[in-house]
Structure 1
């Protein structure tokens, strides 16, 4: 019986949830069963409400983007190279899937065919979402589309092929697209959210297959193009452009706009739905996230030129390097002149809150305190900007991209912040050597579209910063060696006083030895509180003492927990080269 324990617990957990989630006014708890439940729309709705918190990524999963573009402390084990095979857990959980399949198995109790199809479609959206997360993390996994009982032989099912998983995801999403309502409900799944997930999943699979040399990459890239274009043409979503800082304001709200956002997580203190982004970016105790120097260097100049083409760009200090840049830089991190929303007080980046000095402001609200786990900012799950990026990337990888495609996708993102558009011919004629470098970019991009693919990747990193995409973008592009590169922050020419917000007052004093007299608001001892690449000058260097090694032969997938393999009597096979 040993090899059935984890599955029995999964089964019992699903049963307990079913009892807890029912409308007890209809039938006494002791007699509740699928024969008397799932009989109308209200009951289907009540049961399916649990899918949202159980399966959708939460705020912390999204904003705590942890890879090479945003550096936190401590590093995630997958990024630091310290990952080991766990005994249990690590994302190998199937409880939520059982609840989805339970609805699909019992929804026939509802006589209204339209209602039944709609909630079957909702369940299939969430099953597709569930399995997409599993596919990204583990690759091949067992596909279950029925409720598994404690005596079922399927408990001992081996992993299914990658093709079966992704094709089943697409099939579920096609059903969801056909049967989900089309009206915009930013906190509820609709047909446009299903199209958005199809766009995201098929782009991932197509590019993963291309760069990892797996067959049929183009098939999934074309599915991405199809889903993206349909969503763009029929969904009615457009970029939010209100005010002077629309990119920043899109994320700094408790009532996110359905103009651009297709699906979001709703947070409200009155409902005890909260997360921690305010404290996460504005305290010294919850990660100290900061953009990396490589990421900051990737932002273009305001004229559309490459910052890394400027003479001595490596030696530019903070005030100088942040001038005349893509406005999204100043709407993502504190730059000179930054004030919090509803305040006129200029505040400098705080190096005690950011490992790199590039202090994040995305999702930051007004001037109130930033208490732990009290943030109410809505968190987008899908927005039309991502779909624009997906379309451009898929077409570029298919060698089918045109300037017209860029004008209806990437160049709309740039126009929102008054940046010049991307010219396909110019990009391909002169690919960016910084983005193509082994130290700071992607060496495996080639072909006639190399230049524009690199630019699309730049645009994706900039536009989707702190939205939970970066780690798996690096995985699908087979660029994991980026995690081994030095993790750098601001450049300082030497010890002394620094006015980081350029307002005439000293914000930071760097020193060695005896602390000097200074009007600075923050003192950091070099070598103790902060490390610089050249001793008493250079770039902030983070995690210098962690020997980060990315193993190309195994680290693109997570290992399956060892106890799960044991419980299956070794029917489950471990991912390659994990020992």
Structure 2
């Protein structure tokens, strides 16, 4: 603890990192290597420049689409979807075998970041013209809440540090604050920031990408939904969790009511809008040639650019064709709005393409269908005419072959335009409007154990019907007539829409369903009795063991215990500060 909290991250050094994200156009960055701390903090521009460091803290591709955890790693990616149950990935976190570790880079990084944020806030108290820097102080409070929420999700109760510490600070040996205290601290910072931050339209082109009041409200809605449901499903105090859910409803509703944001659904792209949203660039990256200016759905984004700040991770080749599980494929409804086990439209698994027919159209744009033509960034392999004509098909990577891995393949996050590996420049959606709609619907339902059709129509159904214009809306009558469960259907919509965006594992934790979902075998396609039985063989045998229902078993023997709901405080920190004990349940 002491070692981490005393680690000095100089504001000026960290600012150099922000020069790599100049595509945000937040400010003209000037060389400031020679400026000492004594000479700094004397103008609003200097506070703005200092606040720019915090934008490098936003989650992005590397923290969600990858997870480098291994024997010699230092914490890995705690929000990665690879740690959950919808991708084919053997991972010590997903199968409940993560160990007690000595040091954790996520703990260290969190408190290092808090020191930088607290440093700006401390300096701001001495600035004579407070209104002049109020926006950057509010941004700092947003980011302090952002970092603390990340720590809360990982470790639960953590120490609250509100000022820069020195070697004599008693806080170095403080105990952890309670979970409730940490949450209240996060909420307080966000509510204070919201009253000061400008609305999206007031930011102007020069400041596009900075934290807006809408972003802070949306994040408050996320935080309070998370904690409200965490407490509810652990038999917490009803007054406490209902109060948090009330805050979530109000915050999300404020964003919904604002005119600043809208779902990305250009008519010219039709159902494919959802696919191209995630690979939108200012270069031609979709059949209509739309660029990032048409995207009003991203409320807060980690912003990239092919010309100014490339992602520098091989996103397309890593995730084009990445293995998915049968659990994920089976979540998609049929076109009649019913689960496949209830719908007469479901066409079964006999053929390699049959299960994709007459399903939720999102399935067509998130998953790669066997024998369809697909494109990626290769040359040849990238799109040419973007029309699907003979020339376009000739330039494709050919017909997709799902007879590999789990038999289910991903296409989300894979570009179709020609570029070299690691050069993708699409933005990461830290917060997007679809999530806010889903947060609102869930918070209303969990607060009241019921939800009116009007509330569904102003939120969840907009997401559901974005690319499913003819699908029946989720409604109380649909649920009642078909013996469905409203909570299950709300969670289904969230799981599908936010897939591979860093929510799945955290959702299972807050719902307290990880103990049921995570130990399940990871399954692939139905192999026995289907076309796959002759299409997908390894030395004349099924590629994996087959269960009693004929499905490929990708991984078995998975487990999940209560201790896996939180990560352990790293043992090195407890050695430095014994007052951090006891460790989280099961890690003592």
**Same fold per superposition (TM over 0.5):** yes
CA distance in 2, matches of 1:425, 1:115: 54
Q: What is aligned with 2:172?
A: 155
Q: What is aligned with 2:149?
A: 132
Could you tell me whether the CA contact under 8 Å between 2:10 and 2:116 is conserved in 1? yes
Match of 1:118 among 116, 127, 135: 135
- For residues 191-233 of structure 1, the C-alpha deviation after alignment (integer angstroms, 9 at most, x for no partner) is 1110111010000000000011222111111100010111111
CA distance in 1, matches of 2:453, 2:165: 50
Q: What is aligned with 2:472?
A: 420
Q: What is aligned with 2:77?
A: none
- Once the two structures are TM-superposed, the CA of residue 401 in structure 1 deviates from its matched residue by 1.9
CA distance in 1, matches of 2:531, 2:168: 71
**Alignment RMSD:** 2.8
1:74 maps to 2:72 = no
1:254 maps to 2:281 = yes
Match of 2:100 among 72, 85, 103: 85
- For residues 286-309 of structure 1, the C-alpha deviation after alignment (integer angstroms, 9 at most, x for no partner) is xx6333211211111112122122
Match of 1:452 among 486, 509, 514: 486
Q: Secondary structure at the match of 1:575?
A: coil
Could you tell me whether the CA contact under 8 Å between 1:158 and 1:571 is conserved in 2? yes
Q: Secondary structure at the match of 1:194?
A: helix
- Once the two structures are TM-superposed, the CA of residue 252 in structure 1 deviates from its matched residue by 1.7
Q: Secondary structure at the match of 2:578?
A: coil
- For residues 361-388 of structure 1, the C-alpha deviation after alignment (integer angstroms, 9 at most, x for no partner) is 11222153672x3332221111111111
> CA separation of 1:512/1:253 partners in 2, compared to 1, >3 Å: closer, same or farther?
closer
- Once the two structures are TM-superposed, the CA of residue 18 in structure 1 deviates from its matched residue by 6.4
Match of 2:558 among 543, 548, 569: 548
CA distance in 2, matches of 1:534, 1:557: 32
Could you tell me whether the CA contact under 8 Å between 2:2 and 2:573 is conserved in 1? no
Q: Secondary structure at the match of 1:142?
A: coil
Could you tell me whether the CA contact under 8 Å between 2:15 and 2:49 is conserved in 1? no
Q: What is aligned with 1:511?
A: 537
- Once the two structures are TM-superposed, the CA of residue 115 in structure 1 deviates from its matched residue by 3.0
- Once the two structures are TM-superposed, the CA of residue 57 in structure 1 deviates from its matched residue by 0.8
* Correspondences of 1:209-228 after superposition (within 5 Å): 209-215=231-237, 216-228=240-252
> CA separation of 1:25/1:382 partners in 2, compared to 1, >3 Å: closer, same or farther?
closer
Unaligned runs of 5+ in 2: 19-28, 67-80, 202-206, 283-291, 376-382
Q: What is aligned with 2:163?
A: 146
- Once the two structures are TM-superposed, the CA of residue 90 in structure 1 deviates from its matched residue by 4.9
Q: What is aligned with 2:456?
A: 406
Runs in 1 of length 4+ with deviation above 6 angstroms?
18-27, 311-314, 495-498
1:298 maps to 2:331 = yes
Match of 2:527 among 467, 492, 502: 492
Q: Secondary structure at the match of 1:308?
A: coil
Q: TM-score with structure 2 length normalisation?
A: 0.82
CA distance in 2, matches of 1:44, 1:428: 56
1:41 maps to 2:44 = yes
Could you tell me whether the CA contact under 8 Å between 1:411 and 1:421 is conserved in 2? yes
Match of 1:232 among 244, 253, 256: 256
Could you tell me whether the CA contact under 8 Å between 1:211 and 1:478 is conserved in 2? yes
1:60 maps to 2:62 = yes
CA distance in 1, matches of 2:115, 2:423: 32
Q: How many residues align?
A: 519
CA distance in 1, matches of 2:480, 2:112: 48
